[in-house]
C-alpha cells in the first residue's frame, strides 16, 4: 500500500510515491512552524525523510527496470517497467502521464521520493534555524543538522545520477515562484557540497555525535563521515552519461573522497514495512521467491568467455540453442555467489534474450551478506569493495597504474574470486577491464543501478546483436530519465523521451 504525499516544495511536489504506510507530517502544505514545534518533531520528520529517500533509490521502481536495461539482470515480466525497458532493440522510455502507473513509477518514484526527502530536510533545517531544539544547540541539535545535510546531499546526488535535470530547493528558496531546473552536473555539485557540510558538522560534534536514521544501524562521527565521503566519490565518478563526458570527471576529487571512505559494508536492515528493497526481486530465494530476475547472460559471459554474451533466440529466429548452459570459470564466485538453474521460466515470445541459467545466490551462500530484501536481514547498498574500486579507478585515471593494481590485487579479485593477481606493470586497458569486471560481478545486487551508471560512462554504445560482456549500454538505451510527465504538466511543458531508435545514445530528448 502506498500513501500519497503532498510535500511543500512550491508547484512541483505532487507526491505520488511516498513512504509505505508511513503517517507523514506535511500533508497539504501546512505551516512549518505548526508542524515542527519540538525536538521530537525534528527526529520524526527527519526519519520520515530518510525512508522517502531509501524507497526512492532502493525500491523496485526504478531499480529493476534500469538493471534490466543495463543488462545486469534479465526479466521479461511486465512488472516495474522491466519488460518494456528490456526490449531489444531498445525502445524509448515513453514519458507520458497517460501510461499505466507501474510504468510511470520508473521515473515518478525516484523523482518525487527524493524531492520529498529534500523537503523534509529543508523543514528540519528551517526549524533548527528558528530555534526549535532538542538540547539548546548542543550535540544532538548539531547531529540532526548534519543528518539533514546528508539527506539533502544523497537525494540531490541521485536526482543528478538518474535525471537529466531536477529542482534544487533549499531553505532560502522562494517556493512561491517557479523554480528553474538545474542540470545534472549542477545537482551533483550541490550534492557533494552538502555531504562535505555534513562531514564538517559531524566532526565538530565529535565523540557525542550519533546518527541512527538508517534502520538497524547506529553511526558515530567517524563512520558517518566515511559514508559521506563514499557517496561523494560515487556521485563524482558515476555522473557521466558517455565516455566523452567521463573525460571531465574530477578524479583527484574522487580519490580524495574515496581515500576517506567506508571500510565497512553499508547495509541497513529490512523491516518488511518501511525499509525494503529491490533485492527481494533479484536475489535467489529472496522475499518474493525464485521466479523473478535472473543474472543477465552478458555477466555469465564475463565469467566464461566461451559463453555468448546474448542468449540465442531459438524460438524466434531459429538460432542454435545454447551449447553448454552450465558455465565454467576460474573465478570461484561463479559457484559461491550464483546458482545454476537448468530451466528458464520466462515466456519465449517475450524475448529469449532475457533467458539465463543463473540467479544471484550470494544472500544465501554468504551468511550475513544480505537478507531477503523485505522481511529481515541486511540490505547492502554500498560495499567497502565499491569504495576500494572507486579508489583504484581514480588512481588509474590519474595515471598511477601501479597503485591501482595494488588495490585490485588486495581486493575481492583475489580474496573472493581467487583469480590471479594482475601484473604490477599491467597496462591501462587491462587494469580498466579488471575494474569493470569487479564492478559488474562483485557489486551486483548491492549499489542500486550501478551497472547502468557504469556501462553508460565506461563503454561505447553497442548494437544489441553484438554486445560484449563488459561493453557499454545497448544502442537506444535511455542513459538518463526525463522529468516525469506529471511534473511537466504542472509546468505546462511538453513531455519528452530518452532512448529508442531516434536517440541512439540515450541522451538527446525526443518530443
The stretch 44-71 carries a mean pLDDT of 98
Contacts of 173 (CB under 8 A, 6+ apart): 10, 179
The pLDDT value recorded for residue 34 is 64
How much of the chain, in percent, has pLDDT values that exceed 90? 90
pLDDT tens, position by position, 113-168:
999 999 999 999 999 999 999 999 999 999 999 999 999 999 999 999 999 999 99
Residue 296 confidence (pLDDT): 98
Provide the pLDDT confidence category of residue 31 given band limits of 50, 70 and 90: low
pLDDT reading at 28 higher than 50: no
pLDDT confidence of residue 284 = 86
- Determine how many CB atoms are found less than 10 A away from the CB of residue 104: 22
Q: How many residues are given for the chain?
A: 511
Alpha carbon distance 50, 39 (integer Å)? 17
pLDDT for the residue numbered 64: 98
pTM > 0.85: yes
DSSP one-letter string for 350-413: G-GGG--SEEE-HHHHSTTS---SSSSSB---B-HHHHHHHHHHHHHHTT-HHHHHHHHHTTHH
Give the pLDDT of residue 21.
Answer: 39
Mean model confidence pLDDT for the chain: 93
Under 8 Å between Cβ of 114 and 56 = yes
Provide, rounded to the nearest whole percent, the portion of the chain with pLDDT above 70.
92
Return the number of other C-beta atoms located less than 10 Å from residue 37's C-beta. Answer: 12
Whether the Cβ atoms of residue 84 and residue 137 lie closer than 8 Å to each other: no
- Per the structure block, which three cell numbers stand in for 494? 511538453
Give the pLDDT confidence score for residue 287 in this predicted structure: 60
pLDDT of residue 387: 99
R_g of the chain computed on alpha carbons: 22
Nearest by Cα to 57 from 66, 46, 70, 44 = 66
C-beta of residue 346 within 8 angstroms of C-beta of residue 355:
yes
CA dist 84 and 455 (Å) reads 19
Beta carbons of 463 and 71 less than 8 angstroms apart: no
Nearest Cα neighbor of 241 from 186, 157, 185, 298 is 185
Checking if the pLDDT of 285 tops 80, the result is no
> 455-471 pLDDT, tens per residue?
999 999 999 999 999 99
Tell me the three state secondary structure of residue 334. Answer: helix
pLDDT in tens, 172-219: 999 889 999 999 999 999 999 999 999 999 999 999 999 999 999 999
Host H or E run for residue 270: none
Q: pLDDT tens digits, residue range 417-451?
A: 999 999 999 999 999 999 999 999 999 999 999 99
Amino acid at each position: 500500500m502506498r500513501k500519497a504525499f503532498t510535500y511543500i516544495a512550491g508547484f512541483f511536489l505532487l507526491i505520488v510515491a511516498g513512504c509505505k504506510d508511513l503517517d507523514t507530517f506535511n500533508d497539504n502544505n501546512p505551516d512549518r512552524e505548526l508542524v515542527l514545534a519540538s525536538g521530537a518533531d525534528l527526529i520524526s520528520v527527519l526519519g520520515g525523510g530518510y525512508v522517502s529517500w531509501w524507497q526512492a533509490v532502493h525500491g523496485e521502481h526504478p531499480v529493476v527496470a534500469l538493471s534490466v536495461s543495463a543488462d545486469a539482470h534479465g526479466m521479461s515480466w511486465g512488472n516495474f517497467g522491466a519488460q518494456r525497458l528490456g526490449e531489444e532493440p531498445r525502445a524509448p522510455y515513453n514519458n507520458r502521464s497517460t501510461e499505466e502507473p507501474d510504468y510511470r513509477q520508473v521515473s515518478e518514484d525516484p523523482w518525487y521520493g527524493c524531492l520529498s526527502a529534500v523537503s523534509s530536510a529543508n523543514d528540519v533545517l528551517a526549524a533548527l534555524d528558528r530555534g526549535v531544539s532538542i538540547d539548546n544547540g548542543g550535540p544532538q541539535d548539531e547531529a540532526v543538522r548534519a543528518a539533514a545535510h546528508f539527506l539533502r546531499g544523497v537525494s540531490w546526488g541521485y536526482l543528478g545520477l538518474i535525471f537529466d535535470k531536477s529542482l534544487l530547493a533549499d531553505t532560502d528558496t522562494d517556493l512561491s515562484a517557479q523554480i528553474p531546473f538545474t542540470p545534472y552536473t549542477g545537482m551533483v555539485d550541490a550534492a557533494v557540497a552538502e555531504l562535505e557540510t555534513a562531514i564538517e558538522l559531524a566532526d565538530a560534534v565529535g565523540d557525542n555525535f550519533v546518527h541512527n536514521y538508517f534502520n538497524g544501524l547506529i553511526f558515530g562521527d567517524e563512520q558517518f563521515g566515511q559514508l559521506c565521503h563514499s557517496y561523494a566519490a560515487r556521485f563524482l565518478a558515476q555522473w557521466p552519461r558517455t565516455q566523452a563526458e567521463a573525460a571531465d570527471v574530477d578524479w583527484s576529487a574522487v580519490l580524495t573522497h574515496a581515500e576517506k571512505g567506508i571500510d565497512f559494508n553499508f547495509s541497513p536492515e529490512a523491516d518488511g514495512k518501511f525499509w525494503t528493497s529491490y533485492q527481494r526481486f533479484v536475489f535467489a530465494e529472496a522475499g518474493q521467491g525464485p521466479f523473478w530476475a535472473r543474472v543477465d547472460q552478458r555477466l555469465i559471459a564475463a565469467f566464461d568467455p566461451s559463453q555468448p554474451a546474448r542468449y540465442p533466440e531459438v524460438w524466434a529466429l531459429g538460432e542454435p540453442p545454447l551449447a553448454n548452459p552450465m558455465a565454467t570459470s576460474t573465478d570461484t564466485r561463479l559457484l559461491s555467489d550464483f546458482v545454476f538453474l537448468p530451466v528458464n521460466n520466462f515466456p519465449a515470445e517475450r524475448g529469449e534474450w532475457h533467458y539465463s541459467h543463473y540467479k544471484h545466490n550470494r544472500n544465501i551462500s554468504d551468511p550475513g551478506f544480505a537478507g531477503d530484501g523485505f522481511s529481515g536481514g541486511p540490505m547492502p547498498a554500498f560495499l567497502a569493495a565499491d569504495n576500494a574500486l572507486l579508489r583504484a579507478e581514480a588512481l588509474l585515471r590519474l595515471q598511477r597504474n601501479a597503485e591501482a593494481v595494488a588495490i585490485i590485487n588486495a581486493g575481492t579479485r583475489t580474496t573472493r574470486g581467487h583469480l590471479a593477481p594482475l601484473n604490477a606493470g599491467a597496462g591501462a586497458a587491462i587494469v580498466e577491464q579488471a575494474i569493470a569486471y569487479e564492478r559488474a560481478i562483485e557489486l551486483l545486487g548491492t549499489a542500486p543501478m550501478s551497472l547502468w551508471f557504469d556501462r553508460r560512462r565506461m563503454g561505447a554504445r553497442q548494437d544489441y546483436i553484438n554486445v560484449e560482456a563488459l561493453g557499454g549500454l545497448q544502442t537506444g538505451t535511455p542513459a538518463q530519465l526525463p522529468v516525469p510527465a506529471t511534473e511537466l504538466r504542472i509546468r505546462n511543458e511538453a513531455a519528452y523521451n530518452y532512448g529508442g531508435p531516434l536517440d541512439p545514445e540515450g541522451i538527446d530528448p525526443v518530443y
